[in-house]
């Protein structure tokens, strides 16, 4: 009896993950017995499972750092906050996904079950206490996303995107695993605390440790879509169905941020100088390529893909400072970006053609939206200006927070570089605004959306405005996640 009680207590920090795993398996079985046309039941059950998981995360929210399973699982304030935002975004994304699939007659229960398992992977990544746990969560997420992109087998573009995503993703996973094996070989430990202690106690760094660091950074950079490991991003964003692109562009970015903090900030913290140099190059390259190439895009989803690459540069800049304030600023930025991308792709979904033959993924499809639906045009205006970093929207405060931290630690040159490329990026965001408000529409049909989706999209866009006027509401939450300096910096 005591052994059972001890096992229960040791497993309590991971109760939300265990519940989501059980719920996903149960819903998969239920969906197999549902008649065709009743996929909405699977969607509602999936949303209910995510809501209960969110309630468990909130109920078990830790006041201090707790470890479980011999240090392989970590429950702390940062992990709890990231999980809350991940689950909220996925719950909203399922509203868009179900409505999109129903309208086009493509509803399948597998979509929603895969989203559940992908969400489980993200939660595990955020709470990973060892490289092994991190890798398991990452692969669970990746395999779910590969399948989600490819589920529409009638679309050649989706199948091509899924194949590219799978091949390049498998390569990146192999590189990451090879780096982990090198670090394990040089330190003899796989848990982050043990790896950090072994590197800190070593009299000198071995070559194998540094090579392992390089491979780990490459693997993480691929998952972020940072230059020069960004080749999959525009193709997958364009080829995947719009709601799946939305899910790829939002919650996994938050999970990738958690992975970066766990692996580099905790496990490899004593190699800060080494991985800082690598992230500096990745940040500058992402800002340059993302903003410049986005100007030439005629496809809205590809434009948003290169925009995402540019935003990754800002996320890295905050981490380069090595301060709690810098990490909090990066967390503020990645959450803000996820909220903005959620709304932007929501607009792409509901600008789509209603004849089921395609999506409104051309930038020219945005022409004259003010005449077809003034409210949607206003919401899209808010989202584009926020992504561009125009005050008073939350995107401006996110950029300002990151740049301020960079200036405070003497990286003024990097902040100036980021500002220059942000000014270049203004062009393609303002081009969208110009098309919406100052061009005649190519189609006269009004933009119609279900009341639920209209409400969710409106709340999403208005939240961008609200956080812009009250940025401290979100920033204070992020500051809670980083109460002290990382050792060794």
Q: Tokens for 267?
A: 């496990």
| 89-109 per-position pLDDT tens digit | 999 888 888 878 877 777 777
Is it the case that residue 426 has pLDDT exceeding 60?
yes
Q: How far apart are CA 193 and CA 130, in angstroms?
A: 8
pLDDT, mean over the chain:
85
Lowest mean pLDDT among 213-222, 267-276, 400-409: 267-276
Decide if 125 contacts 255 (C-beta within 8 A).
yes
Model confidence at 355, pLDDT cuts 50, 70, 90, reads: very low
Report pLDDT for 48.
92
Report pLDDT for 176.
92
Report pLDDT for 484.
54
Q: How far apart are CA 245 and CA 205, in angstroms?
A: 41
| 6-28 per-position pLDDT tens digit | 555 567 778 889 999 999 999 99
| 107-140 per-position pLDDT tens digit | 777 888 999 999 999 999 999 889 999 999 999 9
Q: Shortest CA distance to 487 belongs to which of 268, 203, 315?
A: 268
Lowest mean pLDDT among 43-47, 432-436, 485-489: 485-489
* Tokens 């390049």 belong to residue: 168
Is it the case that residue 168 has pLDDT exceeding 80?
yes
Model confidence at 53, pLDDT cuts 50, 70, 90, reads: very high
Report pLDDT for 308.
92
Report pLDDT for 9.
57
- Give the CA radius of gyration of the chain: 22
Is it the case that residue 487 has pLDDT exceeding 60?
no
Most confident of 194-203, 355-364, 409-418: 409-418
Higher pLDDT, 323 or 25: 25
Report pLDDT for 330.
92
Q: How far apart are CA 352 and CA 24, in angstroms?
A: 30
Arithmetic mean of pLDDT, 344-368: 70
Report pLDDT for 216.
92
Is it the case that residue 451 has pLDDT exceeding 80?
no
Q: Shortest CA distance to 459 belongs to which of 379, 361, 355, 391?
A: 379
Is it the case that residue 360 has pLDDT exceeding 50?
yes
Report pLDDT for 52.
94
Would you say the C-alpha torsion 466, 467, 469, 470 has a positive or negative sign?
A: positive
Q: Shortest CA distance to 345 belongs to which of 397, 400, 387, 284?
A: 387
- Please work out, in degrees rounded to the nearest 5, the angle formed at the alpha carbon of residue 242 by the alpha carbons of 236 and 248: 55
Arithmetic mean of pLDDT, 446-472: 83
| 380-411 per-position pLDDT tens digit | 889 989 998 888 889 899 999 999 999 988 88
Arithmetic mean of pLDDT, 341-365: 71
Q: How far apart are CA 174 and CA 164, in angstroms?
A: 15
Model confidence at 199, pLDDT cuts 50, 70, 90, reads: confident
Lowest mean pLDDT among 152-161, 164-173, 477-486: 477-486
Report pLDDT for 238.
87
Model confidence at 356, pLDDT cuts 50, 70, 90, reads: very low
Report pLDDT for 8.
53
Higher pLDDT, 449 or 142: 142
Q: How far apart are CA 356 and CA 250, in angstroms?
A: 25
Q: How far apart are CA 78 and CA 62, in angstroms?
A: 10
- Buried b / exposed e along 45-78 (16+ C-beta atoms within 10 A): bbbebbeebbebbeeeeeeeebbbeebbbbbbbb
Most confident of 349-353, 367-371, 471-475: 471-475
Higher pLDDT, 56 or 356: 56
Q: Shortest CA distance to 328 belongs to which of 111, 162, 474, 124?
A: 474
Q: How far apart are CA 241 and CA 149, in angstroms?
A: 7
Q: Tokens for 340?
A: 């903005």
Determine the length of the chain. Answer: 489
| 295-306 per-position pLDDT tens digit | 988 888 889 999
Arithmetic mean of pLDDT, 158-169: 88
Report pLDDT for 486.
40
Q: What are phi and psi of 203, to 5 degrees?
A: -70, -30
Is it the case that residue 358 has pLDDT exceeding 60?
no
Model confidence at 88, pLDDT cuts 50, 70, 90, reads: very high
Report pLDDT for 181.
92
Q: How far apart are CA 405 and CA 482, in angstroms?
A: 14
pTM of the model: 0.92
């Amino acid at each position: 009896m005591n052994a059972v009680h001890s096992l229960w207590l040791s497993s309590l920090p991971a109760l939300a993950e265990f519940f989501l795993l059980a719920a996903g398996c149960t819903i998969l079985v239920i969906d197999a017995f549902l008649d065709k046309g009743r996929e909405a039941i699977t969607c509602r059950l999936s949303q209910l499972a995510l809501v209960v998981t969110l309630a468990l995360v909130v109920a078990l929210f830790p006041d201090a750092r707790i470890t479980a399973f011999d240090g392989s699982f970590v429950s702390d304030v940062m992990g709890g906050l990231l999980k809350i935002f991940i689950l909220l975004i996925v719950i909203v994304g399922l509203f868009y996904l179900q409505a999109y699939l129903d309208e086009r007659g493509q509803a399948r229960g597998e979509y929603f079950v895969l989203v559940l398992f992908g969400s489980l992977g993200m939660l595990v990544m955020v709470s990973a206490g060892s490289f092994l746990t991190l890798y398991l969560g990452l692969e669970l997420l990746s395999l779910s996303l590969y399948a989600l992109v490819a589920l529409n087998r009638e679309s050649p573009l989706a199948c091509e995107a899924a194949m590219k995503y799978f091949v390049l993703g498998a390569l990146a996973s192999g590189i990451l695993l090879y780096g982990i094996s090198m670090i394990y070989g040089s330190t003899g430990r796989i848990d982050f605390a043990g790896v950090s202690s072994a590197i800190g106690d070593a009299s000198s760094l071995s070559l194998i440790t540094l090579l392992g660091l390089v491979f780990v950074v490459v693997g993480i950079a691929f998952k972020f879509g940072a230059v020069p490991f960004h080749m999959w991003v525009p193709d997958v964003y364009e080829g995947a169905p719009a709601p799946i692109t939305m899910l790829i562009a939002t919650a996994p970015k938050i999970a990738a941020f958690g992975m970066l903090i766990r692996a580099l900030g905790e496990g490899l913290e004593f190699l800060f100088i080494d991985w800082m140099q690598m992230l500096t190059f990745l940040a500058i390259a992402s800002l340059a390529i993302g903003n410049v190439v986005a100007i030439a895009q005629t496809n809205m989803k590809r434009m948003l893909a290169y925009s995402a690459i540019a935003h990754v540069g800002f996320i890295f800049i905050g981490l380069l400072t090595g301060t709690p304030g810098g990490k909090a600023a990066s967390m503020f930025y990645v959450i803000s970006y996820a909220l903005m991308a959620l709304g932007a792709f929501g607009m792409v979904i509901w600008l789509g053609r209603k004849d089921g033959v395609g999506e409104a993924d051309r930038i020219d499809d945005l022409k004259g939206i003010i005449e077809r639906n003034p409210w949607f045009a206003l919401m899209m205006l808010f989202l584009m200006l926020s992504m561009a970093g125009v005050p008073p929207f939350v995107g401006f405060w996110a950029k300002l927070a990151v740049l301020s931290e960079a200036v405070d630690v003497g990286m003024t040159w990097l902040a100036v570089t980021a500002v220059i490329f942000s000014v270049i990026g203004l062009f393609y965001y303002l081009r969208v605004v110009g098309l919406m408000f100052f061009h005649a529409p190519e189609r006269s049909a009004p933009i119609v959306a279900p009341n639920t989706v209209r409400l969710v999209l409106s709340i999403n866009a208005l939240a961008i405005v609200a956080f812009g006027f009250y940025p401290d509401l979100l920033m204070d939450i992020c500051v809670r996640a980083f109460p002290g300096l990382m050792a060794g910096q």
